[in-house]
Structure 1
């Protein structure tokens, strides 16, 4: 696989993470670039590891992973999205303070949900001539950049939506989950 094709693959793998990052950024209290980069690195690291895992699985059980990857991603993203909507619908105390930092666990779960498709791609890459290390590195780097930009864009969305940004973030995660699922049915 040539480097241009790998770059397009990396961009395609990072689009759902970008959409989720906009929702993440919208729920934060004016996230700074360092927080956006932290979230980007969490997403990028997970997105880089999952094609490697998929590639290893592809060597042994590709049909099983491909048959269920979209359902796993869908379920994770819908559960996280519903949780965010629930938080956004809670009666707001006069001035509820939005967090300035996303908890690692919540961020990692979202990243796993958006990277399940990268695992399936890794399964497919096991059957073609590709440098899996280069592919994983490009996917991880592209995702880091896209998620960092998405969080900063979400900052603007969050200031427009105010307290209801959590609902927007939850709806975004559910939409990404539905998008992943619909692409496989």
Structure 2
């Protein structure tokens, strides 16, 4: 695989994380760049690891991975999306301070859910002559950049949407899950 194909793959794999990070950024009270970078790093590391896992599984049993990865991603994104929507409809008390950052495990779970397609790509890459380490690093770096950018975009969208930003973020996550299922069933 040449450099341009690797970069196209890397940025293509980062789009789900970009969309999810916009929602994450919109739900925070003006996230700082350090929080955006933290989110980008978490998403990037997870997105770099999953094609490696997929590649290893592809060497062992690609059929099983390909049969279930879309269902796992859909279930995780549906769960996280519904959770965000419920939080968006909850009435907040005046004593409650706005969130300044997301919990580590929430970000890891979201990153895993949005990176399962990269695991499936890793399975496919197991059958091609590619340097999986370089490809995984490219995917991880692209995802880190796009997720950081998404958080900063969300920073500007959040104040415009207010509490509805969390609802919109949940809808985006559910939409990504539905898109993953749709892509699987339509080929």
Q: Same fold (TM over 0.5)?
A: yes
Q: Within 5 A, what are the aligned runs for 1:105-116?
A: 105-116=105-116
Distance 2:96 2:154 in 1: 18
Residue aligned with 1:77, SS: helix
Provide the alpha-carbon RMSD of the alignment: 0.9
Offset at 1:14? 0.3
- TM-score normalised by L of structure 1: 0.98
Unaligned 5+ residue runs, structure 1? none
> Taking structure 1 as reference, are residues 96 and 169 closer, same or farther at Cα in structure 2, changes over 3 Å only?
farther
Partner residue, 2:15: 15
Partner residue, 1:154: 154
Offset at 1:98? 2.2
- TM-score normalised by L of structure 2: 0.97
Offset at 1:106? 0.2
- Conserved 8 A contact 1:27-1:98: no
Partner residue, 1:91: 91
Partner residue, 2:175: 175
Distance 2:97 2:85 in 1: 17
Is residue 27 of structure 1 aligned with residue 41 of structure 2? no
Is residue 139 of structure 1 aligned with residue 142 of structure 2? no
Distance 1:81 1:175 in 2: 9
Residue aligned with 1:158, SS: helix
Further displaced range: 97-106 or 87-96: 87-96
Residue aligned with 2:99, SS: coil
Is residue 128 of structure 1 aligned with residue 128 of structure 2? yes
Offset at 1:164? 2.0
Unaligned 5+ residue runs, structure 2? none
Offset at 1:110? 0.2
Partner residue, 1:62: 62
Further displaced range: 155-164 or 131-140: 155-164
How many residues end up aligned between the 2 structures?
185
Offset at 1:97? 2.6
